[in-house]
Chain A
Amino acid sequence: MEKPVNNRAWFLVLPVLVLVAFSAVIPLMTVVNYSVQDTFGNNEFFWNGIGWFKEVLESDRVHAALGRQLLFSAIILAIEIPLGIFIALNMPRRGFWASLCLVLMALPLLIPWNVVGTIWQVFGRVDIGLLGHTLAAIGIDYNYVNDPVDAWATIIVMDVWHWTSLVALLCYAGLQSIPDAYYQAARIDQASRWGVFRFIELPKMSGVLLIAVLLRFMDSFMIYTEPFVVTGGGPGNATTFLSIDLVKMAIGQFDLGPAAAFSLIYFLVILLISWVFYTVMTAQREVP
Chain B
Amino acid sequence: MARITLDNLAHSYNRHPKDESDFALKPMTLTWRDGGAYALLGSSGCGKTTLLNIISGLVRPSRGRVLFGDRDVTDLPTAVRDIAQVFQFPVVYDTMTVRQNLAFPLKNRGVPADEIARRVEGVARMIGMEETLDRRARGLTADAKQKISLGRGMVRHDVNAILFDEPLTVIDPHMKWELRTQLKALHREFGHTMIYVTHDQTEALTFADEVVVMSEGRVVQAGTPQSLFDKPEHTFVGYFIGSPGMNLLEAEVDGATARVAGATVPLAAPYRLKPGRVQIGVRPDAARLSGGTEGVPFRLERVEDVGHHRILRGRVGDQVFNLLQDEGVPIPEGASRVTLDPARIGVFVDDWRVEPLERAA
Identify the A interface with B (CB < 8 A): 179, 181-182, 184-185, 187-192, 195, 199-200, 203-204, 287-288
Q: A188–B94 contact, CB under 8 A?
A: no
- Residue in contact with A187 in the complex, picked from B58, B93, B96, B152, CB distance below 8 Å: B58
Q: A199–B87 contact, CB under 8 A?
A: no
Q: How far is the CA of A185 from the CA of B152 in the complex (A)?
A: 10
Q: Name 5 interchain pairs, CB-CB below 8 A, sorted by A.
A: A179-B91, A185-B85, A185-B152, A187-B78, A188-B79
5 residue pairs, one from A and one from B, having the closest CB atoms? A185-B91, A181-B87, A190-B108, A189-B105, A187-B78
| A181-B91, A287-B136 known; A190 vs B85 contact (CB < 8 Å) | no
Q: How far is the CA of A181 from the CA of B152 in the complex (A)?
A: 14
- Least CB distance from B347 to A in Å reads 43
Q: Kindly state whether residue B89 has any CB partner on chain A within 8 Å.
A: yes
What 1/0 mask marks residues of chain B from 82 to 96 whose CB sits below 8 Å from any chain A CB?
A: 011101110101111
| A181-B91, A200-B93 known; A188 vs B85 contact (CB < 8 Å) | yes
Q: B108–A192 contact, CB under 8 A?
A: yes
- Residue in contact with A288 in the complex, picked from B56, B88, B94, B136, CB distance below 8 Å: B136
Q: B91–A191 contact, CB under 8 A?
A: no
Q: B79–A182 contact, CB under 8 A?
A: no
Q: A181–B108 contact, CB under 8 A?
A: no
CB nearest to A179 among chain B residues? B89
Q: A184–B108 contact, CB under 8 A?
A: no
Contacts of B77 in A (CB 8 A): 187
Identify the B interface with A (CB < 8 A): 53, 56-58, 77-79, 83-85, 87-89, 91, 93-96, 104-105, 108-109, 135-136, 149, 152
Q: How far is the CA of A188 from the CA of B136 in the complex (A)?
A: 22
Q: A184–B85 contact, CB under 8 A?
A: yes
Task: Tell me which of B83, B84, B93 has the highest count of chain A C-beta atoms within 10 A of its own C-beta.
Answer: B93
| A190-B109, A191-B104, A287-B136 known; A184 vs B93 contact (CB < 8 Å) | no
| A184-B85, A189-B104 known; A199 vs B93 contact (CB < 8 Å) | yes
- Residue in contact with A184 in the complex, picked from B58, B95, B96, CB distance below 8 Å: B58
Q: How far is the CA of A200 from the CA of B57 in the complex (A)?
A: 20
Q: A190–B79 contact, CB under 8 A?
A: yes
Q: A203–B87 contact, CB under 8 A?
A: no
Q: B79–A187 contact, CB under 8 A?
A: yes
Q: How far is the CA of A277 from the CA of B149 in the complex (A)?
A: 34
Contacts of A287 in B (CB 8 A): 136
Q: How far is the CA of A199 from the CA of B103 in the complex (A)?
A: 13
CB nearest to A204 among chain B residues? B94
Q: How far is the CA of A135 from the CA of B56 in the complex (A)?
A: 54
Task: Tell me which of A179, A188, A190, A200 has the highest count of chain B C-beta atoms within 10 A of its own C-beta.
Answer: A188
CB nearest to B83 among chain A residues? A188
| A190-B79, A199-B93, A287-B136 known; A185 vs B87 contact (CB < 8 Å) | yes
Contacts of B136 in A (CB 8 A): 287-288
Contacts of B88 in A (CB 8 A): 181
Q: A199–B95 contact, CB under 8 A?
A: yes
Contacts of A185 in B (CB 8 A): 85, 87, 91, 149, 152
Q: B87–A189 contact, CB under 8 A?
A: no
- Least CB distance from A50 to B in Å reads 47
Q: B152–A189 contact, CB under 8 A?
A: yes
Contacts of A188 in B (CB 8 A): 56, 78-79, 83-85, 105
CB nearest to A191 among chain B residues? B108
Q: A189–B108 contact, CB under 8 A?
A: yes
Q: A182–B95 contact, CB under 8 A?
A: no
Contacts of B57 in A (CB 8 A): 187
Q: How far is the CA of A288 from the CA of B91 in the complex (A)?
A: 19
Contacts of B91 in A (CB 8 A): 179, 181-182, 185
CB nearest to B108 among chain A residues? A190
New contact pairs (14) apart from A184-B87, A199-B93, CB-CB < 8 Å:
A179-B89, A181-B89, A184-B56, A185-B85, A185-B152, A188-B83, A188-B85, A189-B105, A189-B108, A189-B152, A190-B105, A190-B108, A199-B95, A204-B94
- Least CB distance from B205 to A in Å reads 26
Task: Tell me which of A189, A191, A204 has the highest count of chain B C-beta atoms within 10 A of its own C-beta.
Answer: A189
Task: Tell me which of B79, B83, B84 has the highest count of chain A C-beta atoms within 10 A of its own C-beta.
Answer: B79
Task: Tell me which of A184, A185, A287 has the highest count of chain B C-beta atoms within 10 A of its own C-beta.
Answer: A185
Q: How far is the CA of A251 from the CA of B105 in the complex (A)?
A: 63
Q: How far is the CA of A192 from the CA of B79 in the complex (A)?
A: 10
Q: How far is the CA of A181 from the CA of B79 in the complex (A)?
A: 15
Q: How far is the CA of A208 from the CA of B53 in the complex (A)?
A: 31
Contacts of B93 in A (CB 8 A): 199-200, 203
Task: Tell me which of B88, B89, B105 has the highest count of chain A C-beta atoms within 10 A of its own C-beta.
Answer: B105
- Least CB distance from B199 to A in Å reads 18
- Least CB distance from A155 to B in Å reads 36
Contacts of A181 in B (CB 8 A): 87-89, 91
CB nearest to A200 among chain B residues? B93
Q: How far is the CA of A283 from the CA of B108 in the complex (A)?
A: 29
Q: How far is the CA of A288 from the CA of B85 in the complex (A)?
A: 28
Contacts of A191 in B (CB 8 A): 104, 108
Q: How far is the CA of A189 from the CA of B77 in the complex (A)?
A: 12
Contacts of B56 in A (CB 8 A): 184, 188
